[in-house]
Amino acid sequence: MQDVFITGVGITRFGKFPNETLASLGRAATLDALRDAGIGPQDVDVISCGSARSGILNNHESGVGQLIGWELGIRTIPVYNVKNYCASGSTAFDVAYMAVAGGFQDVALVIGVEKMSVRAEKGRPITSDGVEVETDFGFTPPAVFAASAAEHMADFGTTREQIAMVAVKNRKNAEHNPVAQYRSPVTVEEVIASPSVAGLLNLFDCCPTGDGAAVVVLMSPDAVRRHGAQKRAVRVAASVLASGEYDQIKPLTTFHLDVLSSRKAYEKAGIGPEDVDLAEVHDAFTITEIIHAEDLGFVAKGEGGRAVEAGEFSIGGRLPISPSGGLLTKGHPLGATGTAQLVELTQQLRGESGPRQVEGAKVALAQLSGGFMESDLATSSMIILAR
Amino acid sequence: MQDVFITGVGITRFGKFPNETLASLGRAATLDALRDAGIGPQDVDVISCGSARSGILNNHESGVGQLIGWELGIRTIPVYNVKNYCASGSTAFDVAYMAVAGGFQDVALVIGVEKMSVRAEKGRPITSDGVEVETDFGFTPPAVFAASAAEHMADFGTTREQIAMVAVKNRKNAEHNPVAQYRSPVTVEEVIASPSVAGLLNLFDCCPTGDGAAVVVLMSPDAVRRHGAQKRAVRVAASVLASGEYDQIKPLTTFHLDVLSSRKAYEKAGIGPEDVDLAEVHDAFTITEIIHAEDLGFVAKGEGGRAVEAGEFSIGGRLPISPSGGLLTKGHPLGATGTAQLVELTQQLRGESGPRQVEGAKVALAQLSGGFMESDLATSSMIILAR
């Protein structure tokens, strides 16, 4: 097995863009990433493309990778089209990582893309694939995580204000992120006063839906040298996927698969959670950032709310989380989210993040969950990058 | 890179089974494959699952691998859900092959599954993903390949009877295949007299749609030893994927991607087409078996029709093609087709194919095309197995 490096990243703005397509979004982010890596389409050996809902929403179930490759004149190479719920982009990354680390290919393009703004036309809610209990009985993601929030407050004394502070922090981070979907600041009071979505989770506690694409270029050590990409290359220290949980669904304040995959990732990278300088996590809801921070070992179980309040997860704090603004604020176009996390962390580790730079960052972690923890049809992705 | 072996295969009957689900089909084939490999669900390190239309047809776009794993109590391992048109099962195989060959995992389950019989309820034709020119203008697969057939006849003197003989041969093979969808013999006259579908292609020139699952177990050399699977293990000599053609669409009598991927596969396996003892190809239409046989180098371009007539591709002939009955007769449940080819070839190389055994077979090739050659959103998979 050989080392793998990220040598180029590209991203579109996240938001609702009715005039854009999977192809146009993917093309824009890919061109951005190729330029960043200093290579052309002809240098790409393999495409791995993640999108979660391109079939049901856009009638492009299989060939999204080919579609985007075709736009760029990329031909005859292997293309993998990968689906794994919200972790589709991360799973596409893992496939490309294997292709390069295993010595099968030298230069891989990992494309994450989603176009969700057509959803309204379809007149149906976005629910998790095939999970009828949620669709039929209204046990939707906000409802599930509202139950998590209530349990976290009851078990650990987490306050409503602490939960709201996640949104406040991530909005503040997004103010300096030009690609983020929502960039205006909010206050704790505004979060708590925003319209209720489910239980105590309000509008500003929930991530938006949207369109977008994010792309990373992976290279083998040989390719890094050949393309002179050493200077800004970021090493992939671990990529771990764990799927299909079968355990008890209670308590709702911990996700066993994330505990498992993070420990495996730390072991592979030869580090512990105390070595992580910054992280992007699956903050689809305010409460989930708190739970993930605990499950990943950044703080003890139950201490996440207090850590947010103390500013530990803010830029300038002990371990900044969601410096990009996270899913909550940057946005969550499903298939693009996993690769977008890697765009942010790569720029941070290179010291290219401008006003939202985490100073001196050497080790960064990206975590995404996919599917429904409650249904056993889940997946957890953990990717560690290092400079 | 280490060697990879197929040590277990499992398959359901192919056909229209309204009472079966993706989960029940996948479970049955997986249990079959695990038994054949002499292992249990707990021995599996990774699942790679291919299905082409599970989102649009079955509302399960992402998590088919987790769904089937869940049925078997398989948990916490990585699951990849892979889509690539008709080559979805083959692409899932290629991902699992990388996982084992690259040393990431020891035991991989490759699941191909599709449930197409719900199509009728949806009231829409199955057309290739997002290829509007075909959907809107009726340039459907049968129409495209009818044009190929007409061109092949005009350019090379191939006769209508020779084209029909592919269906006759493959029906004859399927007579001895208990999983095949259509097993009764047909004559050249019956093929030519069957109802017209498009141009000169009639009902018996076209593969059926259906439901089914096929599974293969892959092992590293270590795992083969550990599980005592040496005796019936079949080595993967090459797995090659080529996607996203960009060339001229004329002539319609050759598919450049297949020429390319087959040459790469021969090179990787260290063999030539003359070393192939038997093959399963993408005989979705009678004419395509002829074209593929030529593109893969089994006969010179234009000679495929005459080779069928001379019995060269029959069991007992020089290079038997579609001994299982092929897509034409065994059936073509999209995602399951690629893994089903490997089930057949593995059984053949083990000498376990009973009345349809190809005697003394040592090298076997599986070829599938995905997407539409005419649209640039294509893929070609070539897998070579050896004993």
**Mean of pLDDT values over A242-265:** 84
Per-residue CA distances from A356 to A326, B46, B58 (Å):
13, 38, 43
Q: What's the CA gap between B192 and B259, in Å, rounded?
A: 30
Give me the residue label for tokens 């030519």: B192
Q: What's the CA gap between B183 and B20, in Å, rounded?
A: 21
Number of Cβ within a 10 Å radius of residue B362: 12
H helical segments located in chain B: 22-37, 54-58, 64-71, 88-101, 119-122, 132-137, 141-156, 160-174, 188-193, 221-226, 256-269, 286-295, 304-309, 326-329, 334-350
pLDDT of residue B37 exceeding 70, the answer is yes
Q: Which residues of B touch A129 (CB under 8 A)?
A: 55, 59-63
Q: State whether A55 and B129 contact (CB < 8 Å).
A: yes
Selected residue of A243, A247, A369, A373 to mutate for chain B interface (largest B Cβ count, 10 A): A243
Q: What's the pLDDT score for residue B127?
A: 54
Q: State whether B55 and A129 contact (CB < 8 Å).
A: yes
Q: What's the CA gap between A195 and A312, in Å, rounded?
A: 28
Q: What's the pLDDT score for residue B118?
A: 81
Comparing CB atoms, the residue among B69, B70, B76 nearest residue A260 is: B76
Comparing CB atoms, the residue among A66, A74, A81 nearest residue B82 is: A81
Rg (CA), chain B: 19
Position A378 confidence tier, pLDDT thresholds 50, 70, 90: confident
Position A288 confidence tier, pLDDT thresholds 50, 70, 90: very high
DSSP B319-355: S-B-TT-HHHHT---HHHHHHHHHHHHHHHHHT--GG
**Mean of pLDDT values over A366-383:** 82
Selected residue of A83, A106, A132 to mutate for chain B interface (largest B Cβ count, 10 A): A83
User: β-pairing, A79-83 with A363-372?
Assistant: unpaired
pLDDT of residue A179 exceeding 80, the answer is yes
Q: Which residues of A touch B60 (CB under 8 A)?
A: 129-130
Q: What is the pTM of this model?
A: 0.96
Of B349, B267, B376, B358, the closest CA to residue B321 belongs to: B358
Contact, B50 vs B84, CB < 8 A?
Answer: yes
pLDDT digits (tens, 9 = 90+) for B255-278: 889 999 999 999 999 999 999 999
Q: What's the CA gap between B185 and B181, in Å, rounded?
A: 12
**Mean of pLDDT values over B20-39:** 97
DSSP B272: -
Q: What's the pLDDT score for residue A136?
A: 55
Residues 6+ apart with CB under 8 A from B313: B166, B169, B289, B293, B298, B307, B319, B320, B321, B322
Q: What SS3 class is residue A49?
A: strand
Element (H, E) at A34: helix A22-37
Task: Supply φ then ψ for residue B115, to 5 degrees.
Answer: -130, 95
Q: What's the pLDDT score for residue B370?
A: 85
**Strand-pair partners of A183:** none
Comparing CB atoms, the residue among B70, B77, B104 nearest residue A377 is: B70
Position B171 confidence tier, pLDDT thresholds 50, 70, 90: very high
Q: State whether A242 and B85 contact (CB < 8 Å).
A: no
DSSP A54-96: HHHHHS-SS-HHHHHHHHTT--SS-EEEEEBTBTHHHHHHHHH
pLDDT of residue B249 exceeding 90, the answer is no
SS3 track for B74-93: CCCCCEEEEEECECHHHHHH
Contact, A246 vs A338, CB < 8 A?
Answer: no
Q: What's the pLDDT score for residue B140?
A: 77
Pick from A348-362, A368-382, B53-67, B71-85: least confident: A368-382
Selected residue of B1, B45, B83, B241 to mutate for chain A interface (largest A Cβ count, 10 A): B83
User: β-pairing, A46-50 with A79-83?
Assistant: parallel
Q: Which residues of A touch B62 (CB under 8 A)?
A: 52, 83-85, 88, 129, 370-371
**Mean pLDDT in chain B?**
93
Q: What's the CA gap between B206 and A293, in Å, rounded?
A: 55
Q: What's the CA gap between A317 and A296, in Å, rounded?
A: 17
Q: State whether A63 and B85 contact (CB < 8 Å).
A: yes
Distance (Å) from the alpha carbon of A92 to chain B's nearest alpha carbon: 9
Q: What's the CA gap between A283 and A289, in Å, rounded?
A: 5
pLDDT digits (tens, 9 = 90+) for B191-213: 999 999 999 999 999 999 999 99
H helical segments located in A202-333: 221-226, 256-269, 286-295, 304-309, 326-329
Q: State whether A103 and B103 contact (CB < 8 Å).
A: no
pLDDT digits (tens, 9 = 90+) for B327-376: 999 999 999 999 999 999 999 999 999 999 999 999 999 999 988 655 56
pLDDT digits (tens, 9 = 90+) for A122-133: 555 555 555 555
- The sign of the CA dihedral B329, B330, B332, B337 is negative
User: β-pairing, A363-372 with A278-280?
Assistant: parallel
Position A87 confidence tier, pLDDT thresholds 50, 70, 90: very high
Of B2, B77, B1, B5, the closest CA to residue B224 belongs to: B5
Position A373 confidence tier, pLDDT thresholds 50, 70, 90: low
Q: State whether A61 and B65 contact (CB < 8 Å).
A: no
pLDDT digits (tens, 9 = 90+) for A180-234: 999 999 999 999 999 999 999 999 999 999 999 999 999 999 999 999 999 999 9
pLDDT digits (tens, 9 = 90+) for B136-162: 556 678 888 999 999 999 999 999 999
Q: State whether B244 and A103 contact (CB < 8 Å).
A: no
**Mean of pLDDT values over B31-59:** 95
Q: State whether A56 and B61 contact (CB < 8 Å).
A: yes
Q: What's the pLDDT score for residue B371?
A: 81
The percentage of residues in chain A with a pLDDT greater than 90, rounded to a whole number, is 83
CB pairs under 8 A between A and B: 210
Position B317 confidence tier, pLDDT thresholds 50, 70, 90: very high
DSSP B168-216: HHHHHHHTT-TT-S--S---HHHHHHSPEEETTEEGGGBPPP-EEEEEE
**Mean of pLDDT values over B293-298:** 98
Of B57, B387, B33, the closest CA to residue B213 belongs to: B33
pLDDT digits (tens, 9 = 90+) for A12-52: 999 999 999 999 999 999 999 999 999 999 999 999 999 99
pLDDT of residue B129 exceeding 90, the answer is no
pLDDT of residue A245 exceeding 80, the answer is no
DSSP A53: S
| Side-chain half-sphere exposure of B355, counting CA atoms within 13 A | 8
**Mean of pLDDT values over B162-171:** 98
Q: What's the pLDDT score for residue B139?
A: 66
Q: Which residues of B touch A247 (CB under 8 A)?
A: 75
Pick from A259-268, A333-342, B117-126: least confident: B117-126
Position B174 confidence tier, pLDDT thresholds 50, 70, 90: very high
Selected residue of A47, A60, A66 to mutate for chain B interface (largest B Cβ count, 10 A): A66
**Mean of pLDDT values over B117-143:** 62
DSSP A177: -
Q: Which residues of B touch A75 (CB under 8 A)?
A: 243-247, 376
Q: State whether A246 and B73 contact (CB < 8 Å).
A: yes
Per-residue CA distances from A181 to A5, A16, A17, A111, A169 (Å):
28, 8, 11, 19, 15
Comparing CB atoms, the residue among A53, A81, A371 nearest residue B63 is: A371
Residue B207 appears among annotated catalytic residues: no
Contact, B372 vs B378, CB < 8 A?
Answer: yes
Contact, A373 vs A258, CB < 8 A?
Answer: no
pLDDT of residue A113 exceeding 90, the answer is yes
**Mean pLDDT in chain A?**
93
The percentage of residues in chain B with a pLDDT greater than 70, rounded to a whole number, is 92
Q: State whether A242 and B76 contact (CB < 8 Å).
A: yes
Q: What's the pLDDT score for residue B350?
A: 98
Q: What's the pLDDT score for residue B224?
A: 98
**Strand-pair partners of A74:** none
Residues 6+ apart with CB under 8 A from A332: A86, A207, A208, A209, A210, A284
SS3 track for B179-192: CCCCCCCCCHHHHH
Query: Searching chain B, which residue's CA lies closest to the CA of residue A58?
Result: B130
Contact, B288 vs B331, CB < 8 A?
Answer: no
Distance (Å) from the alpha carbon of A374 to chain B's nearest alpha carbon: 13
Q: State whether A61 and B60 contact (CB < 8 Å).
A: no
Q: What's the pLDDT score for residue A56?
A: 85
Prior bond to B251 cis, omega within 30?
A: yes
This complex has an ipTM of 0.95
Comparing CB atoms, the residue among B58, B63, B78 nearest residue A377 is: B63
Per-residue CA distances from A297 to A132, B262, B333 (Å):
33, 49, 45
The token duo for A172 is: 């503040």
Contact, B87 vs B379, CB < 8 A?
Answer: yes
Position B227 confidence tier, pLDDT thresholds 50, 70, 90: very high
Rg (CA), chain A: 19
Please give the single-letter amino acid code of residue A327. Answer: L
Q: What's the CA gap between A163 and A166, in Å, rounded?
A: 6
Contact, A97 vs A107, CB < 8 A?
Answer: no
Position B126 confidence tier, pLDDT thresholds 50, 70, 90: low
Contact, A380 vs A355, CB < 8 A?
Answer: no
Catalytic (active-site) positions of A: 86, 332
Q: Which residues of B touch A246 (CB under 8 A)?
A: 70, 73, 75-76
